[in-house]
Amino acid sequence: METFDPAELPELLKLYYRRLFPYAQYYRWLNYGGVIKNYFQHREFSFTLKDDIYIRYQSFNNQSDLEKEMQKMNPYKIDIGAVYSHRPNQHNTVKLGAFQAQEKELVFDIDMTDYDDVRRCCSSADICSKCWTLMTMAIRIIDRALKEDFGFKHRLWVYSGRRGVHCWVCDESVRKLSSAVRSGIVEYLSLVKGGQDVKKKVHLSEKIHPFVSKSINIIKKYFEEYALVDQDILENKESWDKILALVPETIHEKLQQNFQKYHNSLQRWEYLKKAISWQDNTKNDKCGPLLEWEIMLQYCFPRLDINVSKGINHLLKSPFSVHPKTGRISVPIDLQKVDQFDPFTVPTISSICHELDAISINDEGKEGNEAESDIKHRTRGRMALTSHF
């Protein structure tokens, strides 16, 4: 994989927006078949330029307009906002209070930094293959619920370019949902609650909701390898003390003593399950499986940013945007191959631009007509980009 140098970004972006960005597919998505008059024209785009210059309320008449502006501005980042009552680029001419966000896809933003209290391999912006499984589980759990529990059909999952994933639910009925309903959906999908000061973030009731049991079934497929081997969550006293904080104090002493007799997290987890089932008989405490599931959920369940999802006018990074720090492209994730998705093999802008150069060099001398040659180059460039996913 070509190493990415941020200093080259301005030149690489020029090439990317001229030859590689998939404008036709992008416009086809956001135009939604042109069924609703002015739907695309009333959509807000926001561009972040070099040195964090931020331009909101951009809007375009058609695909050609969008292309010209993006090739002129070469934005470092593109965000997509709501469909408004008026053209966003004319919002200053609309009388006060009349300019309103009316529709937008229901979006979800899952960021690895929200798991820093439960991942041991990395922190803040860093990710590795050991913690990426959190994103795999998040996609599987949230997507299953959106499809089966809510019946949403059109779901686009996208890699953020660095340390997370985004989901765009695009069904026509969903785009019309109020902020209150969006909040309700996120609430339904949230089980991990409480800030940094709250130790125990998951509380299950005796009656387990089908959403919870189905989510646990997904986590079970990954838990041993992810939590007990890769994250080694019961490796030493420091790590197992975090888990003891999630179970009744009555068994702390017994667990502390016996954990020291075992050699690894797998053995300690098996002992923990037995210990919490033994204390089932004391009626004032939760039964074993509930405690076990609460720990699994706290360590593995998706953590959603409610504010991103509930606000209709909230901006979210666009698919095919380039991450300015990693150079990686925000590519769609194939739901059939979620387990195989590897963020470290996602193309960087450097790698695809150099692929394009290689294609161009091979083609030199073969083509006469300059305009025809440029069209062929652009078509091949976009094919080079889309072949990566």
Could you confirm whether 109 is annotated as catalytic?
yes
Could you confirm whether 149 is annotated as catalytic?
no
Could you confirm whether 280 is annotated as catalytic?
no
Q: What crossing angle do the helices spanning 288-300 and 210-223 adopt, rounded to 10°?
A: 70
- Chain centre to alpha carbon of residue 123: 17
Query: Do 350 and 3 touch, CB atoms closer than 8 A?
Result: yes
In angstroms, the CA 225 to CA 223 distance is 6
**Structure tokens belonging to residue 192:** 């991990």
- H or E stretch at 233: none
The amino acid at residue 329 is I
Mapped onto helix, strand or coil, the DSSP state of residue 81 is: strand
Going from the C-alpha of 42 to that of each of 50, 59, 362, the distances in angstroms are 26, 7, 42
DSSP letter for each residue of 311-322:
-TT--EEPTT-B
Query: Do 343 and 176 touch, CB atoms closer than 8 A?
Result: no
Cβ count within 10 A of residue 170 = 18
In angstroms, the CA 34 to CA 11 distance is 34
375: burial class by Cβ within 10 Å (0-12, 13-18, 19+)? exposed
Say which of 103, 109, 292, 355 is annotated catalytic.
109
Residue keyed to tokens 């692929």 = 355
Say which of 103, 111, 143, 294 is annotated catalytic.
111
CA angle 219, 161, 57 (to 5 degrees): 115
In angstroms, the CA 365 to CA 53 distance is 41
Instruction: Enumerate the H helices of 315-369 as residue ranges.
Output: 349-363
**Structure tokens belonging to residue 55:** 């331009």
- Secondary-structure percent of the chain, ordered helix, strand, coil, rounded to 5: 50, 15, 35
Catalytic residue ranges = 44, 109, 111
